[in-house]
Amino acid sequence: MLIIRHRSGVLKGVEQSIDDNKDTLVFGRDGDVCDVIFPADETLVSRRHFALERKLSGLWTFDLFGDPFVAVNGQPAENGQALHKGDVVELGKRGGPSFSVERIDETGAAKRMAETQVQQKVTNPRAAVQGAKRVALVTSALALLIALAGTGAVYYLSTGQGARLDQAMAKLSEDQQKAASDTISQPVRDRLLAASYLVYVRQPGGQEQPAGSASPIGPNMLATNAHVAALSRDLKDGQKLYVKAPGPQGKAYEVVDFKIHPGYAEFEKYLESDPLFVVSTANCKDCLSPILSGSAPGYDVAILRVAEGSNLSPVLEIANEKDLSTIGPGTPVAMSGYPLERISNQTVQSVAATPTLSLGMVSANTDLFSLPSDVSQRKLIQHNLPGTGGNSGSPMITPNGKIIALHNAGSYVDVPNVGRVPNAAMVRFGQRADMLADLVAGRAEQALEVDRAYWAKQTQAFKRGFDYLIPEILAREKPSDKATSVQVASAKHTLTATEKFTAKDKDGKDTTRRQKIHTVNLKANQLTTLIGYAQERQLIQMYLVVDGKIAKQDDRRIWFPFLSAKPDKDMKVEVYIVSPDNDVNYTLLEYTWDEPRS
């Protein structure tokens, strides 16, 4: 039996049970066709919005009907995607009518059979790449998480109006170039192009792989992004990192040293060790709460050093504090670098580098949390300059020719079978140049000391994942309005290399994972809720095993799996926490529920 409970919209609070003999369920407003019928005035829902189909395996999967918006746990649904207990489905738009799946039972003879033993979970390479992108951009799972919005680009793609997008972008580019050309002189642009060096990796066999952009800021020093400089740290035997000057006679220089801003790793850890959630102060039970994620990494600046006497030229000047204080929306900017991703023939750049010039303007200037702040913390520069993979590290200048920022990220939408495409809003990001100046001058750590205090103050209104998700999970598992949870146990654990196990995947190949087994005592007729919470959003799964058989499981590969059980007798059970083959720190929490006697 399938049971759904409407969480928002006109049907909020309504619970529906679906007949066992149904193998296809159509959702929409058309009462003649649909099985789950929405009111005629609920116009965010299409007449025939989507369907669920039951496979021979017993899984319910999504059958999408084209354009109507369907999201599962904040992520756009995909055709053939499986439906699981606890999933929250939204229709029409994010925040539109929604329902949750409260129960999915086996039917017929299947429910009389013994539980299936633990199955080895594997992911094919293509699915792994797509899954990793989804996790990186927004995070997973619980109903109270939403993905970063990307509806503009999706609109253009889903309606097939590629020509319209091309025309709009061409017109915008024309307007930008005209505005910038009125203020950024040709000599300044020419100098910027001449200072645009290509960063590439030379393989042991001599092959050269373009990787990013950089610009001289001293006779033997170049500026780039931290994530580009990190290539030096990750080089394998025989590989070397080089920079190359533009032009047919552009000279190549081996990178002999590099330095990454200390805030680059520290800020990422601050955000990701236990993610921050933006929690509305409004009393909105069904509002979704987005995660605050580092979509544009902070302190993403670094310097590359080449051999003494290289005399790189031309050398660009870094903007000073006064220059940076005047930056704001509408400030004209130019950028030059090497767009490589999905650009034809860009592999030849390592033969003779030809940079691309872009003209546009600053669209916003905020702190690294994308919040307004005083001038000293406006380290994130949003801009509308065209760019893609390879532009990382590209210098951004204003009419005086000084570097005000290094381009480091953009806003993208992942399109199935296509890859990532730019968001139609065309918002891209740069790291303000004062962080670069601090690194060059050796005062980055000192400046970071001040910034740490600012991070703590600026995120006081947010909640850490542990403090936010645990209460939300308990609210979901609460058996009745009057029930109260009682914490029975809370213990921290680590999955280490000593807990590895190896099993064959479906292709007969050995795959290694890790697991830890915990013993839990369940009491008769008392509901117990178990929650596993992993640090740094490490992916884990939870299995409840009774007499050697799986009784319940949460195998969604998220960082906060949970399940509840209410046995009819006292019993000792095993809880398996399973992860990929890497160290994972997690907390296992156990709650029971007190319910007043009627």
Residue 425: the pLDDT is 67
Residues 6+ apart with CB under 8 A from 598: none
In this predicted model, which residue has the larger pLDDT, 263 or 507?
A: 263
Strand partners, 484: 594
Residue 389: the pLDDT is 86
Mean pLDDT throughout 197-211?
A: 93
Q: What is the 3-state secondary structure (H, E, C) of 390-410?
A: CCCCCEEECCCCCEEEEEEEE
Per-residue model confidence as pLDDT tens digits over 479-500: 999 999 999 999 999 999 999 9
Handedness of CA 98, 103, 108, 114 (dihedral sign): positive
Residue length, the chain? 598
- Give the whole-number percent of the chain exceeding pLDDT 90: 60
Mean pLDDT throughout 40-62?
A: 89
The rounded distance, in Å, linking the Cα atoms of 45 and 91 is: 6
pLDDT range class, residue 79, cuts 50, 70, 90: confident
Cβ pair 65, 49 in contact under 8 A: yes
In the predicted structure, residue 262 carries a pLDDT above the cut 90: yes
Residues 6+ apart with CB under 8 A from 432: 324, 327, 378, 379, 380, 381, 404, 405
In the predicted structure, residue 46 carries a pLDDT above the cut 80: yes
Query: Which SS3 state, helix, strand or coil, does residue 436 take?
Result: helix
Share the mean pLDDT of the chain: 84
Residue 585: the pLDDT is 95
CATH of domain 465-594: 2.60.120.380
pLDDT range class, residue 593, cuts 50, 70, 90: very high
Cβ pair 318, 402 in contact under 8 A: yes
Residue 104: the pLDDT is 64
CA distances to 127, 140, 267, 345, 574 from 520, in Å: 35, 27, 38, 60, 6
Cβ pair 323, 141 in contact under 8 A: no
Residue 264: the pLDDT is 96
pLDDT range class, residue 219, cuts 50, 70, 90: very high
b/e code 138-163 from CB counts within 10 Å (16+ = b): bbbbbbbbbbbebbbbbebbeeeeee
pLDDT range class, residue 172, cuts 50, 70, 90: low
Cβ pair 413, 421 in contact under 8 A: yes
Residue 16: the pLDDT is 87
The closest of 483, 493, 477, 384 to 430, measured between CA atoms, is 384
Per-residue model confidence as pLDDT tens digits over 301-341: 999 999 999 999 999 999 999 999 999 999 999 999 999 88
Residue 418: the pLDDT is 66
Residue 118: the pLDDT is 40
Per-residue model confidence as pLDDT tens digits over 86-140: 889 999 998 899 998 876 655 444 444 454 444 443 333 333 333 333 333 222 3
What class, spelled out in words, does domain 2-113 have in CATH?
mainly beta
What is the pTM (predicted TM-score) of this model? 0.67
The rounded distance, in Å, linking the Cα atoms of 208 and 363 is: 36
The rounded distance, in Å, linking the Cα atoms of 89 and 76 is: 10
In the predicted structure, residue 597 carries a pLDDT above the cut 70: yes
Mean pLDDT throughout 524-538?
A: 95
Q: Would you tell me the crossing angle of helices 151-158 and 162-181 to the nearest 10 degrees?
A: 130
DSSP assignment of 441-475, as one string? Answer: HT-HHHHHHHHHHHHHHHTTTSEEHHHHHHHHHHH
So what's the architecture of 163-458 in CATH? Beta Barrel (2.40)
The closest of 51, 70, 56 to 107, measured between CA atoms, is 56
Domain residue spans of the chain: 2-113, 163-458, 465-594
In the predicted structure, residue 374 carries a pLDDT above the cut 90: yes
In the predicted structure, residue 155 carries a pLDDT above the cut 70: no
Cβ pair 533, 560 in contact under 8 A: yes
pLDDT range class, residue 556, cuts 50, 70, 90: confident
